[in-house]
Amino acid sequence: MTTCERRKPYGKVADFFEGVVTVWELVKSGGWMMLPIILSSIAAMAIVAERLWTLRASRVTPPHLLGQVWRWIQDKQLNSDKLKALRADSPLGEILAAGLANSRHGREIMKECIEEAAARVIHELERYINALGTIAAMAPLLGLLGTVLGMIDIFSSFMGTGMSANASVLAGGISKALITTAAGLMVGIPSVFFHRFLQRRIDELVVGMEQEAIKLVEVVQGDRDVDLAEGKA
DSSP-based three-state secondary structure for 129: helix
What is the rounded distance in angstroms from the CA atom of residue 233 to the CA atom of residue 227?
A: 13
Instruction: Report helix angle 80-89 to 91-101, nearest 10.
Output: 150
CA 150 to chain centre: 32
Task: Decide: pTM greater than 0.75.
Answer: yes
Q: What φ, ψ does residue 61 adopt, rounded to 5°?
A: -125, 80
Q: pLDDT 10s digit of each residue in the chain, 233 long?
A: 554 544 455 566 555 455 445 555 666 666 778 889 999 999 999 999 999 999 999 899 988 888 888 888 887 777 888 888 888 889 999 998 888 888 777 788 888 889 999 999 999 999 999 999 999 999 999 999 988 888 887 777 766 555 555 666 666 677 777 888 889 999 999 999 999 999 999 999 999 999 888 888 888 876 555 554 544 43
Contact assessment for residue 141 and residue 184, using Cβ atoms and an 8 Å cutoff: yes
Alpha helices in 64-166, H assignment, sequence order: 65-74, 80-89, 91-101, 107-125, 129-161
- Count of all residues that appear for the chain in the document: 233
Residue 12 buriedness (CB in 10 A; 0-12 / 13-18 / 19+): exposed
